[in-house]
Amino acid sequence: MIEVKNVDKSFDGNQVLKNVSAVFHTGKTNMIIGASGSGKTVLMKSIIGLHHIDNGKIEYDGRNLPDMLMGDIRILRREVGMLFQGSALFDSLTVLENVMYPLEMFSNTTKDEIIERARFCLKHVDLQEKAYQLAPSEISGGMQKRVAIARAIALQPKYLFCDEPNSGLDPQTSLIIDRLIHDITREFDITTIINSHDMNSVMEIGENIVFIEKGENAWQGTKEDIFEVENKSLNDFVFASELYKKVKKANK
């Protein structure tokens, strides 16, 4: 479980996060939603430790990240997997080498075992074997996301972060990636945090939702609660499209 308590973060005097608190549960797909520029990426990067927060606590199962020394942070990060918006695969390595990289860096297993584990992870995300030796630039966006997920789970992380996992993908592939993340979260009992403004994803796999508005935690609950709650900014955000307005009406 990851707990965020009263977090403030500003850049050059511009306060981006204001007293944000949230709880992200283990074995669930936790989602941070909000409009562009609301501060959700800053929140996610602060939780991971890529941004140093000004005030507050970020506890990974009781371990407060801001209190940790650099060495301890690096050890903690070995328990973390991340899927970046643009996949962030290493250009100079093949697909298989990308997944092998964290294993080669941090595990003490033999080369054969590393290859076996990397292949297992790639199979788990349904990537065809013929793509293993290709460069990341030679595969499609959806396949890149799969490789990035395989790399993120290679070291069996306890925490998985996904920054806009569906950006640039068609609706069908988005759905596949969403389900993949959801299944992995359940199967490996990971604390998964997904940063998204895609309402299809929220409705498909969101179990614990944190809504950020203008750098503040405006609401937290389940996707079922969204239809009931009377929060204007949340309603404006979630039911912006005609389709979701109809869905809301039908639910009522």
CB atoms within 10 A of CB 78: 15
Stretch that binds another protein, among 54-62, 88-96, 121-129, 218-226 (CB under 8 A): 88-96
Q: Please report whether residue 138 would count as binding another protein according to CB under 8 A.
A: no
Q: Hunting for tokens 């060495």 — which residue is that? A: 71
Q: Which residue number, 166 or 217, has a Cβ lying nearer to another protein? A: 166
Q: Which two tokens stand for residue 193?
A: 């945090």
Amino acid in position 13: G
Residue of 4, 33, 80, 180 that binds another protein (CB under 8 A): 80
Q: Which of 75, 229, 240, 243 binds another protein (CB under 8 A)?
A: 75
The answer to whether 2 contacts another protein (rule: CB under 8 A) is no
Q: Counting contacts by CB under 8 A, is residue 165 touching another protein? A: no
Query: For residues 194 and 28, is the Cβ–Cβ distance under 8 A?
Result: no
Q: Which of 6, 64, 67, 106 binds another protein (CB under 8 A)?
A: 106
Interacting span for another protein (CB under 8 A) from 32-40, 75-83, 115-123, 173-181: 75-83
Burial of 2 (0-12, 13-18, 19+ CB in 10 A): buried
Count CA atoms within 13 Å of residue 17 on its CB side.
Answer: 28
Nearest to another protein of 6, 109 (CB atom): 109
Query: Given candidates 6, 61, 67, 90, which one binds another protein under the rule CB under 8 A?
Result: 90
Residues touching another protein: how many (CB under 8 A)?
A: 25
| Separation of alpha carbons 202 and 14, rounded Å | 29
Minimum CB separation from another protein for residue 105, in Å?
6
Does position 18 bind another protein by CB under 8 A?
no
Rg of the chain (C-alpha set): 19
Name the H helices within 89-192: 95-106, 111-124, 141-153, 171-188
- Given the complex with another protein, which of 105 and 250 has the nearer CB atom? 105
How many angstroms separate the CA atoms of 202 and 109, rounded?
38
Sheet holding 80-83, edge to edge: 80-83, 159-163, 191-196, 29-33, 208-213, 216-221
In the list 104, 113, 116, 187, the residue contacting another protein (rule: CB under 8 A) is 104
Q: Does 37 bind another protein (CB under 8 A)?
A: no
11 sits near another protein (criterion: CB under 8 A): no
Contact 53, 7 (CB under 8 A): yes
Q: Verify binding: residue 76, another protein, rule CB under 8 A.
A: yes
Tell me how far, at minimum, the Cβ of 116 lies from another protein, in Å.
18
DSSP state letter for 25: -
Contact 24, 49 (CB under 8 A): no
35 lies in the site for another protein, by CB under 8 A: no
Which residues contact another protein by CB under 8 A? 48, 50, 73-78, 80-82, 84-86, 88-91, 101-102, 104-106, 155, 161
